[in-house]
Amino acid sequence: MKVLHIPCLDDNYSYMIIDETTKEAAVVDPVEPHKVLRVAQENEVDLKFVLTTHHHWDHAGGNDKIKQLVPGIKIYGGSVDNVRGCTDKVENGDRISLGVDISILSLHTPAHTKGHISYYVTDKEGEDPAVFTGDTLFIAGCGKFFEGTAEQMYQSLCVTLGSLPKPTLVYCGHEYTVKNLQFALTVEPDNAKIAQKLAWAERQRRVGLPTIPSTIQEELESNPFMRVDLPEVQDKVGCKSPVEAMREIRQRKDNWQG
């Protein structure tokens, strides 16, 4: 399995997932279809379907166009998210296969939108797992709770995504990492993992490289929103429960002027 980053708009990422045995491919959130098709041609792959994480235009806005450009392409999207151009609705636990080797599991991860789906992708041996988290989980951050609650985001991040294998690669929808880590340091000033990752992310961005992917393990070490179960993090923000801490940290992030 191969994953290619496709930078789009100002700070979005689309991703191409390629089954190297068959040269069949899927694309996550192809907001700029012409860019996506150029990458498909360069890599000589056959684009089979689209995986849409959620309905916001900067993720689903290219779906109608890609249907025109690639007749017969399937567009997967969350069953309760009203995704533009959707041909096949998915629910939590639905599986999609790509080529001969790749299995894709749909995970319902609401809060940013009510029907947000993250896609957990493994190859034939269950090796090299990756998860495409849209705007639910960012590197060192999470999406705003536009259509959901702190309880839902806790469930999405700390239960659903947090229980994936630790080496799972995390591919998120935006390049927000530097700002997210700067904020994370305001929550946990003494967390060396955050400081180290921030220095690395700043170096990456200086030379125009992405900070993605991360791993679930790294997020559990440096993402304050995935650390709300820890009593020391709850203490830092004056809270007594994980959900309360989730709500408080999100509120602080919304008001943060960094």
Span 92-150, pLDDT tens digits: 999 999 999 899 999 999 999 999 999 999 998 778 899 999 999 999 999 999 999 99
Secondary structure in 3-state letters for 219-257? HHHHCHHHCCCCHHHHHHCCCCCHHHHHHHHHHHHHHCC
CA distance 5 to 108: 23
Point out the catalytic residue in the list 56, 81, 116, 123.
56
Secondary structure in 3-state letters for 104-167? EEEEECCCCCCCCEEEEEECCCCCCCEEEEECCEECCEECCCCCCCHHHHHHHHHHHHCCCCCC
- Give pLDDT, residue 15: 98
**Beta strand 214-215 pairing with 130-134:** unpaired
Question: Is 59 labeled as catalytic in the residue annotation?
Answer: yes
Average pLDDT over residues 64-84: 97
Helix (H) or strand (E) holding 4, with range, is: strand 2-8
CB within 8 Å of 174: residues ≥ 6 apart: 11, 12, 13, 135, 138
- Give pLDDT, residue 69: 97
Q: Write down how long the chain is.
A: 258
Question: Is 58 labeled as catalytic in the residue annotation?
Answer: yes
CA distance 87 to 42: 27
Question: Is 108 labeled as catalytic in the residue annotation?
Answer: no
CA distance 153 to 149: 6
- For 206-235, the pLDDT digits (tens) are 999 999 999 999 999 999 999 999 999 999
- Give pLDDT, residue 225: 98
Which tokens in the block code for residue 34?
């012409």
Q: Which CATH number fits domain 2-255: 3.40.50.720, 3.40.50.2300, 2.40.110.20, 3.60.15.10?
A: 3.60.15.10
Q: Compute φ and ψ for 104, nearest 5 degrees.
A: -120, 120
- For 20-67, the pLDDT digits (tens) are 999 999 999 999 999 999 999 999 999 999 999 999 999 999 999 999
Point out the catalytic residue in the list 19, 29, 55, 58.
58
For the chain, give every domain's residue range: 2-255
- Give pLDDT, residue 81: 96
Under DSSP, the state recorded for 174 is: B
Point out the catalytic residue in the list 55, 108, 112, 116.
112
Question: Is 55 labeled as catalytic in the residue annotation?
Answer: no
Question: Is 5 labeled as catalytic in the residue annotation?
Answer: no
- Give pLDDT, residue 115: 98
CA distance 145 to 109: 12
Beta bridge partner(s), residue 5 = 15
- Give pLDDT, residue 126: 78
- Give pLDDT, residue 148: 97
- Give pLDDT, residue 39: 98
- Give pLDDT, residue 125: 78
- Give pLDDT, residue 128: 83
Contact indicator for 153, 114 with CB cutoff of 8 Å: no
Point out the catalytic residue in the list 29, 54, 116, 123.
54
Point out the catalytic residue in the list 55, 59, 108, 116.
59
